[in-house]
Amino acid sequence: MAKTISFAQYLKDSRIAAGLSQRDVSEKLGYTTSQFVSNWERGLSTPPNKAVKKLAELYNLSIEEFLDLLLQETLQQVTLDFKKKFKKML
């Protein structure tokens, strides 16, 4: 099974490829601090829905690819959580 890139790493790689700093991105999204972008790139949180389209535009990415990766990672996390809960029931 091929290892897929995490959404957090995808965000970081895409930002760097676009030649933007975390500060640049936060300012373009209207945030007063780059901590939000840092948290997204470290996997501590995910961007809010209103920021997803803007991020895709800033990074010159297909919104479909962007959302597919986010959905894939979300499904993986839900699956892991379900398995943990199921094991506790046994």
| pLDDT at residue 1, as a whole number | 38
DSSP 5: P
Q: Indicate if the pLDDT at residue 4 is higher than 90.
A: no
Residue at token pair 């892991």: 80
* Spatial distance between the Cα atoms of 44 and 79, rounded to a whole number of angstroms: 19
CATH 1.10.260.40 is right for the domain spanning 7-89: yes
| pLDDT at residue 44, as a whole number | 92
| pLDDT at residue 2, as a whole number | 43
